[in-house]
Amino acid sequence: MSETDSQVPDGYHEAVSLSQLREEGRSLVQIGGTPIALFHHEGEVRAVNNRCPHMGFPLTEGSVEEGVLTCHWHHARFELSCGDTFDPWADDVDAYPTTVVDGTVYVDPTPQREESPADHWRERLEDGLEQNLGLVIAKASVGLLEAGVDPAEAVERGVLFGTRYREGGWSSGLTTLVALSNVLPALEPQDQKRALYQGLRQVAGDCADQPPKFDQAEFSARDVSFERLRSWFRDNVEVRDPDGAERVLRTAVANGCSPAQLTELLVTAATDHRYLNTGHTFDFVNKATEALDTIGWTHDHAADVLASLVRGLATAERSEELSSWRQPIDLAGMCRDTFDRLDELVAAGADETWDRPDGFTERLLSDDPETVFETLEEAIREGATVEQLAAAVTHAAGRRIALFTTANEFNDWNTVLHTFTYANAVHRAAQRTDTTTLYRGVFDAAVNVYLDRFLNTPPAPDPSPTPDADPAAALEDLQLAFETQGEVNEAARATAAFLDAGGDPAELKATLGGALLREDTNFHTFQVLEAGFRQFDLRMEEADSSGIDDSDGAGDTSDRPGEVPGEARDFLVAVARYMAAHYPTRREREQTFSIAERLHRGERVHGDDDAGGDAATADD
């Protein structure tokens, strides 16, 4: 406060008489729609926003002692002269300059900030991640995007935090964050904020109460061949030595290995054994490389992000050690026999060009594992690439979800989900590196498609083509299906009807994403949505480029107004079925996000007794 006989400075607005403020100790005024709490304390006039930044309660109802303002509701404390909080969960409150002219208090409603809004929310995001504060993370997610910050920057902060502060390495939280980052373009702007909040909150939860990761140093050698580094890495993973494997990996980065080579290093070790940790290990490898696509393959980023995978690779459960892969049919042995002939198979198809034949997906869905292996081996001999076969197996895995019968145990949704996301990860890796070792991942995925066969016995109804449906009504039916527990088949029917009738796939994807982000969605549902969207988009791109329709999907789609191939349709039907099986939930996270968003807009959160109160209105 300054007291002067001069004219009122520009930007200041009349608030209250000094004598009244001295007598009452506090006052509330509205200036330009902003509720401002004025205090006379220790001979000084102080002004702060009346809305407590924690939950929006009125600070004029609080107490002031020794320069500390304490909110009456949750006891958040603020240094009165500058508004800084004592409590990281509360955030700082805006403080305003004051002056006194001729016995009247004037206030400048421009906050006294030394940092930009973007910098403020960057700092708050770090606080939220460090202390696992959901509301703070929600506020930061809203604030950063409102301040025009690229979502990729927030993703980068989350990825680097998650890889640094979790000794166990890459896990579900980081996978969720990257998956949501991948689908951001498909979401409405408001849902992009929800996605950022949900992903960052999962990272914070994963790291809460965990010891940080201490890095292993790279070797000083800079002339080691890639082939030798790959061999060293595989050897260390084989004997379950994560420290040695990390040193090799960091050395590979320091030696300038390309993203394709680093991917090859990882996926080769990840397929030396069968279907590690029910597919999660390979999916984590894929998501880590996708994270680097977003935040950049710089030396430090690549070293730290990829090093977070090593412990998981070295300690993962190996499926050849499980009875399901050994009895009553030795599936692991069948894989071994095929892999012994892999070089021969690849050489036979070296000069061939392969096109997927009709009925290929049906053969991959066979009840006979010999048929599955023969189908894949024949395709390799005929020139099928890893990417082509991975795409085919991913469709077969998606069909398992699209035809999952609700007569199964509920937890078996995760069984088909794991196969699908594993196959999707192999497909994505094949787009990064041309190493033929990835054929092993294709066979691992195909074996699990076979093992999941009982979950389609009998299969759920496959939605019949309905080109005469009303897209708007179908979309409404889908949203209603998510509001009622168990409406799995209805969600599938509505999704198919929308696409069959020529509905815009972008609108459907935005609706599915919005529904996902309003629920207390689990890790696996984030996975299925992102993988389903990716596979749908790839099939649509292929259809656009080739001008032909697939024949392996759900019926002939050539007469559909929307021209969505049946194979692409399958993926969104699978996503909708999986989501409907898990919804609705309590929506606790959405409540937190809603509070954060309303506070950011300055809206009331707690009714008539809110921060605005019955304040007198000052001039604008």
Residue 52, C-beta contacts closer than 8 angstroms, at least 6 positions apart? 58, 59, 62, 71, 73, 74, 76, 90, 93, 611
User: Rounded to an integer, what distance in angstroms lies between the CA atom of residue 138 and that of residue 128?
Assistant: 9
Residue 190 lies in a domain: yes
The terminus-to-terminus CA distance of the chain in angstroms comes to: 21
Q: What is the DSSP letter of 327?
A: S
The verdict on 294 and 420 lying in the same domain is: no
Cβ proximity of 211 and 167 under 8 Å: yes
**Among candidate residues 434, 449, 227, the one with its CA nearest the CA of residue 350:** 434
Structure tokens at 41: 């304390």
> How far is residue 96 from each of residues 11, 340, 350, 577, measured CA to CA in Å?
11, 74, 73, 53
Residue 530: exposure state from Cβ atoms within 10 A (0-12, 13-18, ≥19)? buried
289 pLDDT exceeds 70? Answer: yes
The verdict on 509 and 541 lying in the same domain is: yes
Residue 599 lies in a domain: no
**Among candidate residues 263, 437, 227, the one with its CA nearest the CA of residue 342:** 437
441 pLDDT exceeds 50? Answer: yes
pLDDT classification of 553: cutoffs 50, 70, 90: very low
Residue 397 lies in a domain: yes
The verdict on 44 and 164 lying in the same domain is: no
- Domain stops at, among 315, 340, 366: 315
**Among candidate residues 11, 4, 12, the one with its CA nearest the CA of residue 107:** 12
The verdict on 338 and 403 lying in the same domain is: yes
CA quadruple 574, 575, 576, 580: dihedral, nearest 10: 100
pLDDT classification of 570: cutoffs 50, 70, 90: very high
The verdict on 288 and 347 lying in the same domain is: no
Residue 607 lies in a domain: no
The verdict on 437 and 363 lying in the same domain is: yes
pLDDT classification of 604: cutoffs 50, 70, 90: confident
The verdict on 26 and 97 lying in the same domain is: yes
Cβ proximity of 146 and 600 under 8 Å: yes
Structure tokens at 199: 């992903």
| Mean pLDDT computed over every residue of the chain | 93
**How many other C-beta atoms can be found within 10 angstroms of the C-beta atom of residue 255?**
17
Cβ proximity of 304 and 218 under 8 Å: no
Residue 619 lies in a domain: no
Long-range contacts from 54-57, C-beta under 8 angstroms, 24+ separation: 54/87, 54/89, 54/90, 54/91, 54/135, 55/595, 55/599, 55/605, 55/606, 56/595, 56/598, 56/599, 56/604, 56/605, 56/606, 56/610, 56/611, 57/606, 57/610, 57/611
pTM of the full structure:
0.91
Q: What is the CATH number of the domain that holds 277?
A: 1.20.272
Q: Quick: pLDDT tens for 404-418.
A: 999 999 999 999 999
Cβ proximity of 345 and 378 under 8 Å: no
Q: What is the DSSP letter of 58?
A: B
25 pLDDT exceeds 90? Answer: yes
Strand, coil or helix: 40: strand
Cβ proximity of 575 and 533 under 8 Å: yes
φ, ψ (nearest 5 deg) of residue 40: -110, 110
239 pLDDT exceeds 60? Answer: yes
Structure tokens at 95: 């403080």
- Domain stops at, among 315, 342, 360: 315
Q: Quick: pLDDT tens for 480-530.
A: 999 999 999 999 999 999 999 999 999 999 999 999 999 999 999 999 999
The verdict on 268 and 282 lying in the same domain is: yes
**Among candidate residues 377, 385, 475, the one with its CA nearest the CA of residue 429:** 385
Residues 203, 269, 234: CA angle, nearest 5 degrees: 120
Residue 149 lies in a domain: yes
The two beta strands, 44-49 and 95-96, are: antiparallel
pLDDT at 113: 79
The verdict on 327 and 418 lying in the same domain is: yes
**Among candidate residues 562, 558, 449, 453, the one with its CA nearest the CA of residue 503:** 562
**Among candidate residues 403, 182, 421, the one with its CA nearest the CA of residue 278:** 421
617 pLDDT exceeds 50? Answer: no
User: Rounded to an integer, what distance in angstroms lies between the CA atom of residue 503 and that of residue 416?
Assistant: 28
pLDDT at 522: 93
Give me the number of domains the chain comprises.
5
Cβ proximity of 347 and 385 under 8 Å: no
The verdict on 176 and 275 lying in the same domain is: no
pLDDT classification of 560: cutoffs 50, 70, 90: very low
pLDDT at 379: 98
The verdict on 299 and 408 lying in the same domain is: no
Give the sheet arrangement for strand 2-4, strand by strand: 2-4, 98-101, 104-107, 13-17
**Among candidate residues 415, 419, 368, 350, the one with its CA nearest the CA of residue 390:** 419
Residue 362 lies in a domain: yes
The verdict on 449 and 329 lying in the same domain is: yes
Residue 528 lies in a domain: yes
Q: Quick: pLDDT tens for 41-82.
A: 999 999 999 999 999 999 999 999 999 999 999 999 999 999
For residue 257, give its domain range.
226-315
pLDDT at 415: 97
Q: Quick: pLDDT tens for 215-231.
A: 999 999 999 999 999 99
